[in-house]
Structure 1
Amino acid sequence: MSEPPKARVVICVGDIHGFITKLQNLWSNLESSIDRSQFETATVIFLGDYCDRGPDTRRVIDFLAALPSRHPRQRHVFLCGNHDLAFAAFLRLLPPPSDGSAFSEGWREYEGSEAREGWFKGEGYEDMHLQGRRWSGNITVKFNTAKGTEYQGSIYDAGPTFESYGVPHGSSDLVKAVPDEHKKFLADLVWVHEEDDVFVNTGDGVKCCKLIAVHAGLVKGADVKEQLKLLKARDTRVPKVEALSGRKSVWDIPEELTASGTIVVSGHHAKLHVEDLRLIIDEGGGYKDKPVAAIILPSMKIIRDTDVLAK
């Protein structure tokens, strides 16, 4: 008989949004909170949205790209968030649509928003994925009433990302300014990650589950296998990927995954929500005054960059 799988440490890190000091402090707190041997062999899943809003996107990607060499026994998974997809789209790093269509065909559904969002019309825009144009555009309405803050350049708040690479928001020079190592990091981001034999503490004891990590979530009511297939293929025919950018539609776990006891973990929603096997880890939401958080499995312990831990 084969031995049952052992409970290993899985760490899921919420949205970072260009805040390098928060990321450094969170990482230090994770190291302090986990047995060293377990930390050095942990699976660390970053839930996406590494760029925009905060001032240090370039340094954040430097930090993340260096982790495999700094911690070679760890396993690192870097999910693509909606902000990262848009950044990659502007840099022309997304795979082309599988049906041979042009990215410009995806503009039509949303063209009613083009004037208000000020879509990018600079060098290379003619066949740019919709989200790249939105990300690098200049929004005409400068105040975000939903958040009570000023937009930072575009609807994605991408201005600080451009500035972290030394170019003004909306400049086509960003393509040259981003180093090749960062382009590779962005090009290699996965849209979904599945992990077997993940242990989690529940009210009914410790359970061994399958885990699905995706930036926003999976659409309830839509076929899960088909969703996973399209996400694994990074299907760029779709101008807006609901699993990376949806809200209410992806909040709940699809019924078939609930029935099978599957963990679904996401960031994106600017909330910390831990209910049964639905884990949403994005306490910061890209706000300067809110923490970046992570969850440790199986303990379900939440660690924040703001935690003051005993040494």
Structure 2
Amino acid sequence: MAEPGIHFLDAHGPEGVRLYAIGDVHGRLDLLAAMHQRIEDEIERDLPADWRVIHLGDYVDRGPDSKGVIDFLIEARERDSRHVMLAGNHDVGFLDFLKKPDPEGLFIRFGGIQTALSYGVAISEGTSMWFGKAEAAVRKGHESLVEAVPQTHIDFLRSLRLSLTLGDFFFCHAGIRPGIALARQNPQDLMWIRDIFHNYQGLFPKIVVHGHTPVPEAEVMANRVNVDTLAWQSGMLTALVVDGPDKRILTITIKEPGTTKEA
């Protein structure tokens, strides 16, 4: 028997626990730090009985400071375990590249060059070179990157969980496959799924809060909420805030260095 579905308007967070779910960061340490400061200010002001800050994955690639983002998240979790980090496909792709340098893989093709630079390693772009030369350049960059990435960062990436359920909300990076129980979702779907999930019109057992697919502004649907607002390029990092029955969207925007807008 299928679980009954729930509509976003009827969904509640766990009693006495305020939730913040932050979308894809992609190396934008400036936005992440500003978002955390805003959250800390709200918690200090409102004094909720308890709270969780849930990061929905994709901490690395594309933006300028993936290394700094991982350092920041490690410190935040060590300071308070109520900071929870989920795995995104780019985070797993980073681990995959460290294991095996694939010149045609996710890391090299979609922003890993910038991740490597944040660790002080330059990896040549392979697209303009014949394959053998590209493969050799990537292999050389891989060797340097393996030496440059601290073990603490590898341990952090390996520790990332795939999903989290709190109250009437299910948090993951990409989404879920309709018709499959939440507890039986395929890890690949949780990190990669798009169309079949986005196009589903029915209600899910929980409201699915996700990122992975960029949108111009937070997408609030009856059955899901997408908070990936392309932070690395748009300069806007977005979070869903849930406090009992109350839900709102929180955004931090940094278009130029030294300028921060909140909403």
TM-score in same-fold range (> 0.5): yes
* Equivalent pair of 1:243/1:250 in contact (CA under 8 Å): no
C-alpha distance after superposition, 1:138-182 (max 9, x if no partner): xxxxxxxxxxxxxxxx32121110111111123112112100111
| Counterpart in the other structure of 1:183 | 154
Q: 1:27 Cα shift?
A: 1.2
C-alpha distance after superposition, 1:16-39 (max 9, x if no partner): 000111111111122233444646
| Counterpart in the other structure of 2:26 | 17
| Distance of aligned partners of 1:248 and 1:91 in 2 relative to their CA distance in 1, 3 Å threshold | same
* Equivalent pair of 1:274/1:280 in contact (CA under 8 Å): yes
* Equivalent pair of 2:16/2:50 in contact (CA under 8 Å): no
| Counterpart in the other structure of 1:290 | 235
* Equivalent pair of 1:216/1:243 in contact (CA under 8 Å): yes
Distance 2:176 2:47 in 1: 30
User: Which of structure 1's runs of 4+ aligned residues deviate more than 6 A?
Assistant: none
Q: Which amino acid letter does the alignment assign opposite residue 50 of structure 1?
A: Y
| Distance of aligned partners of 1:68 and 1:40 in 2 relative to their CA distance in 1, 3 Å threshold | farther
SS at match of 2:83: strand
* Equivalent pair of 2:204/2:223 in contact (CA under 8 Å): no
Q: Which amino acid letter does the alignment assign opposite residue 276 of structure 1?
A: A
Distance 1:40 1:283 in 2: 29
Query: Equivalences for 1:22-37 in 2 at 5 Å?
Result: 22-36=31-45
| Counterpart in the other structure of 1:279 | 225
Q: Which amino acid letter does the alignment assign opposite residue 176 of structure 1?
A: E
| Distance of aligned partners of 1:179 and 1:36 in 2 relative to their CA distance in 1, 3 Å threshold | farther
Q: 1:40 Cα shift?
A: 8.6
1:174 matched to 2:132: no
2:163 alignment partner, one of 192, 209, 213: 192
* Equivalent pair of 1:224/1:254 in contact (CA under 8 Å): no
- Root-mean-square deviation (Å): 2.6
Q: Which runs of 5+ in 2 are unaligned?
A: 1-13, 124-137, 254-259
| Distance of aligned partners of 1:179 and 1:225 in 2 relative to their CA distance in 1, 3 Å threshold | same
* Equivalent pair of 1:29/1:303 in contact (CA under 8 Å): no
Q: Which amino acid letter does the alignment assign opposite residue 197 of structure 2?
A: V
| Distance of aligned partners of 1:37 and 1:165 in 2 relative to their CA distance in 1, 3 Å threshold | same
1:300 matched to 2:254: no
Q: 1:44 Cα shift?
A: 1.1
2:113 alignment partner, one of 156, 159, 168: 159
SS at match of 1:42: strand
Q: Which runs of 5+ in 1 are unaligned?
A: 93-102, 104-118, 122-132, 137-153, 199-208, 232-240
* Equivalent pair of 2:77/2:84 in contact (CA under 8 Å): no
Q: What TM-score do the two structures reach when normalised by structure 1? A: 0.65
* Equivalent pair of 1:11/1:295 in contact (CA under 8 Å): yes
Query: Equivalences for 1:65-144 in 2 at 5 Å?
Result: 65-70=74-79, 72=80, 75-92=82-99, 120=102, 134-136=105-107
Q: 1:42 Cα shift?
A: 1.2
| Distance of aligned partners of 1:251 and 1:285 in 2 relative to their CA distance in 1, 3 Å threshold | farther
Distance 1:135 1:277 in 2: 29
C-alpha distance after superposition, 1:233-287 (max 9, x if no partner): xxxxxxxx233122212225685xx264x11110111122112341111112531
* Equivalent pair of 1:284/1:293 in contact (CA under 8 Å): no
| Counterpart in the other structure of 1:219 | 177
Distance 2:155 2:45 in 1: 30
2:51 alignment partner, one of 42, 48, 63: 42
Distance 1:225 1:16 in 2: 25
Q: 1:60 Cα shift?
A: 0.4
| Counterpart in the other structure of 1:149 | none
Q: Which amino acid letter does the alignment assign opposite residue 73 of structure 2?
A: L
C-alpha distance after superposition, 1:114-152 (max 9, x if no partner): xxxxx826xxxxxxxxxxx5034xxxxxxxxxxxxxxxx
Distance 2:151 2:37 in 1: 28
| Distance of aligned partners of 1:27 and 1:90 in 2 relative to their CA distance in 1, 3 Å threshold | same
C-alpha distance after superposition, 1:192-249 (max 9, x if no partner): 2222xx3xxxxxxxxxx2x21111100224x225743x43xxxxxxxxx233122212
Q: What TM-score do the two structures reach when normalised by structure 2? A: 0.75
Distance 2:214 2:22 in 1: 13
